A and B are shown apart, each in its own frame.
Chain A
Amino acid sequence: MRSCLSLVLRNTLRNRRRSSLTVASMAVSLGLLGVLLALYRALFYGGETTPGQAKRIVVHHKIALTQELPVGDEQKIRQVPGVRAVISLRWFGGTYKDPGDPKNRFGQFAIEPASLVEVYPELRITEPEKVAFVAQKTACIASRALADRLGWKRGERIPLVGAAILPVTVDLTLVGIFDNPEGNAVLYFNRDYLRDSLSAGDSRRDMVQQYYVEADDKDAVPDVARQIDAMFDESSYPTKSEPEQAFMLSFVSFLGNLKLFLAVIFGAVTLTILLISGNMLSMSVRERTREVGVLKSLGFSSGEVLGMVVGEANLIALAGGLVGCGLAAALCVAIAGAMRSAPGFTSIVRGLSVSPLILTITLGIALLIGSLSALAPGLSAARTSILDALRYNG
Chain B
Amino acid sequence: MAIPLSYNFRNLMVRKTTTVMTSAGIMLSVAVLVASLALVNGLRTVFANTGHPLQLLVLRNGGTSELGSLIPTDSFAILRSKAGIAIDGRGEALVSPELVNVANLPSVDNPKGMNITVRGINPIGIEMRSIRLTDGRWFRSGQREIVIGKSVARRYPTAKLGSRIRFGKGDWEIVGITDGGESALNSEIWGDFNQIASDYNRQDSASSVLVRATDPVTLDALKHSIKDDRRLNANAITERDYYANQTVSGAPLEFLGIFVAVAMAIGSGFATTNTMYAAVAKRSKEIGTLRTLGFSEASILLSFLTESVLIAVLAGALGCALVLPLNWVTSGIGSFVSFSEIAFRFRVDPKTIASGVIFSVVLGVLGGVLPARAAAKKEIIAALREG
Contact = CB atoms under 8 A, between A and B. Distances in A.
A contacting B, Cβ–Cβ less than 8 Å: yes
Interface of A: 17-18, 21-22, 24-26, 28-29, 31-32, 36, 39, 63-64, 66-67, 93, 95, 99-100, 161, 163-165, 167, 203, 250, 253-258, 261, 265, 268-269, 271-273, 275-280, 283, 343, 346
Contacts of B312: none
Contact of B271 (A63, A279, A343): A279
B28 A272 contact: yes
Interface string B225-266: 000000000000000000000000000110011001001101
Given A255-B252, A256-B332, A279-B21, A64 B271 contact: no
A164 B334 contact: no
B189 interface: no
A64 B331 CA distance: 22
9 contacts: A64-B115, A93-B68, A265-B32, A265-B257, A271-B24, A271-B28, A272-B268, A283-B18, A283-B275
B28 A268 contact: yes
Interface string B356-385: 000000000000000000000000000000
A272 B166 CA distance: 47
A276 B267 contact: yes
A17 B263 contact: no
B101 A64 contact: yes
Interface in B15-54: 17-18, 21-22, 24-25, 28-29, 31-32
Contacts of B69: 163-164
A100 B237 CA distance: 13
Contacts, number: 142
A346 B256 CA distance: 12
Contacts of A258: 253
Contacts of B68: 93, 163-164
A18 B24 contact: no
A372 to B, nearest CB: 13
Main secondary structure of the interface of A (DSSP, over half): helix
Given A28-B266, A272-B268, A253 B60 contact: no
Nearest to A246: B112
Contacts of B287: none
Contacts of B31: 268
A63 B105 CA distance: 9
B32 A64 contact: no
Contact of A66 (B21, B67, B114): B67
A66 to B, nearest CB: 6
Contacts of B62: 95, 99-100, 161, 163
B352 interface: no
A25 B271 contact: yes
